[in-house]
Amino acid sequence: MDRIKDSKNITILKGTLAKEIKKDRVITNKGDFYYKHLVGADGSYSLVRRFLGLKSKISIGLYYRVPEIIDNLKIYFYPKLLKSSYIWLFPHKNHTNIGIGLHLDSKNLTFDQSKEILEKFLEKNNFTYSEKEFKFAPLNCYYKGCIFGNIFLIGEAAGLVSKFKGEGIFYALISGEEIGKRILNPGYKMPELKKALKIKKEEERVGKIFESLPFFRGLLLKFYINLSKRPWI
């Protein structure tokens, strides 16, 4: 934002809520804005995506912010209980973010069960938690394309999240850059986005195999972790 805020051809409107998308304009709480190209970068519950009539597949990240600060990032897998999901511990400067992912389409755990598992984990590991530090947010991993005529989707609006890792920052950055280049040059083939999509597809394929083989989950996980420690992977 800092790098573009003084550009003559860019106007940034802060605190502006897009309320409705029309074929030729966006209706906001600060008036109507007509567009030649519209880029929906509005996250997992994208208004632009809904205007295009695209479905979403929602996962949810549930987490507590606890006051204890740990030294390193940690990930815990419980393949029998959580299938391909995991519990993460991300240390921050003033707190640690400890959370769990929930895939609503996998018929595995409910929201309440996931929250209970997370709380048991916190208690067992002596973390202090309180309801007011509990948060959750949706993720949309259902990719159906980025280009729809003069309307574009990037990041989570496009469903660009790795379903099993819950990672979307990398995809949001890549897709934003690639779509920007594509708008400037309609012949641009978006090679970086294609590479990223290949990774997402491959990860989701492995994740599906993992979920469909309940008895081998522990073994597969060990194999996958050992493999990813190799420098040549």
- Rule CB under 6 A: which residues touch ligand FAD? 17-18, 41-43, 47, 61, 63, 99, 137, 139, 155-157, 161, 166-170, 172
User: Rounded CA gap, 16 and 2, in Å?
Assistant: 18
In the chain, the DSSP E strands lie at 18-21, 25-28, 31-34, 38-40, 58-66, 74-77, 86-91, 96-103, 134-140, 147-148, 151-153
Q: Decide whether 55 or 80 has the Cβ nearer to ligand FAD.
A: 55
Helices (H), 63-190: 79-82, 111-124, 169-184
Q: Decide whether 89 or 139 has the Cβ nearer to ligand FAD.
A: 139
Nearest approach, Cβ of residue 5 and ligand FAD (Å): 16
Among 21, 114, 19, 18, residue whose Cα is nearest residue 59 = 114
Nearest approach, Cβ of residue 215 and ligand FAD (Å): 29
User: Can you tell me whether residue 3 is helix, strand or coil?
Assistant: coil
Q: Decide whether 31 or 218 has the Cβ nearer to ligand FAD.
A: 31
Residue nearest to ligand FAD (CB): 168
Nearest approach, Cβ of residue 178 and ligand FAD (Å): 13
Nearest approach, Cβ of residue 219 and ligand FAD (Å): 26
